[in-house]
Amino acid sequence: MDEISAKEFDSLVDKSFLRQQKISEIKDEILKPIEKELAGVERRILQGLQDLDKKKHVSAMGTISRTSRTSVKIPQTPEDKEKLFAWIKEQWGDEGFYAHVSVNSQTLNALYNREYEKAREDGNMDFSIPGVGEPVISYGLMRKRIK
């Protein structure tokens, strides 16, 4: 990157705030009302499909279909998790267990960061968690507007 003066850099940072503000304004003024209207239209279409006992409808613009999805909640208590894990192992064995059980990415990263900080405080600079690859550091920007 070419050298940039402090004044030019300050101007660049201000420009990022202004562009982000413009995006927010456009979303608030244009996109959000359209999304709200679309949600209402979709509710009416779902009701219409149900009332007409149809799963799909073909119009001049295209085909719209009513879909359904069944979902269950993840066990919340240690006891319920143990029951689920035991059932999976009973049904599919260890191979099936490892194919179905996973750790949420955010949870794993929080665990890693917490343990990494503890290890650093203890002077362990070679910290790793078995089965977890090397960390990748990515950089982004966080804007905090002055009020």
Q: What is the pLDDT of residue 110?
A: 96
CA atoms lying within 13 Å on the CB side of residue 17: 11
Side chain identity at 126, as an amino acid letter? D
Indicate the pTM of the whole model.
Answer: 0.61
Q: In this predicted structure, what is the pLDDT of residue 6?
A: 94
Residue whose structure tokens are 């960061």: 113
**pLDDT of the residue at 128:** 93
Model pLDDT, residue 2: 81
- Contacts (Cβ under 8 Å, ≥6 apart) of 101: 85, 88
Low-confidence ranges of the chain (pLDDT < 50): none
Predicted pLDDT of residue 1: 63
